[in-house]
Amino acid sequence: MDTSVSSASGPAPSRRWSLYAGAYAFGCGAATSLLLSAVLRVFVQVIGLPESFPVPLLAAPALLVGGAVWWALVERRAAYTYPAGVAYGALTALGTGLCWTALFLVVWSVDLLAAGPTPLLVGLVVGGTTAAGALIGPPLILVRRRYAER
């Protein structure tokens, strides 16, 4: 019944906000990659990404992961709360980090991941990224809550 109205006016608000959340996560990931580009250049070389355009490539998984996590945690449950926003940010960062860890495994195999201090280094990076990612969710929740009040 409502599908003709919603399809005529564009995607449903929950789908649109999920797309916004993915784009927002991508932007935050790109900004972080740009700030840490000196350190991340080594990672780019190790996994064989093109060195001329690393920032958008490093943030690319956040686009998909961010939209999916936002939809699952916030929009599907209509949970416009700050804890949901924190969980969105943390899980988006964790999912993005796990995507890059999986690519590292594809390129270098499990043996290198298990060798020496690599597990500790990967754990620190993914843990730090997850903790920092928790900071990106509350501002988006604030905007979403204000929009939902209208």
The average confidence (pLDDT) of the chain is 87
pLDDT (average), residues 85-94: 97
The confidence score (pLDDT) of residue 47 equals 81
Q: Look at residue 84 and give its three-state secondary structure.
A: helix
Decide if pLDDT at 46 tops 90.
Answer: no
pTM assigned to the model: 0.85
The token pair at 133 is 């990612």
- Domain total of the chain: 1
The confidence score (pLDDT) of residue 9 equals 58
The confidence score (pLDDT) of residue 6 equals 47
**pLDDT band per the 50, 70, 90 thresholds, residue 86:** very high
- Between 1 and 87, whose confidence is greater? 87
Q: Look at residue 104 and give its three-state secondary structure.
A: helix
Decide if pLDDT at 3 tops 60.
Answer: no
Decide if pLDDT at 5 tops 50.
Answer: no
Kindly report, residue by residue over 97-133, the tens digit of the pLDDT. 999 889 888 888 888 778 888 888 888 888 999 999 9
What range does the domain containing 94 cover? 3-149
pLDDT (average), residues 7-18: 78
pLDDT (average), residues 59-65: 95
The token pair at 136 is 């990106």
* Residue listed under structure tokens 């927002």: 24
How many other CB atoms are there within 10 angstroms of residue 53's CB atom?
A: 10
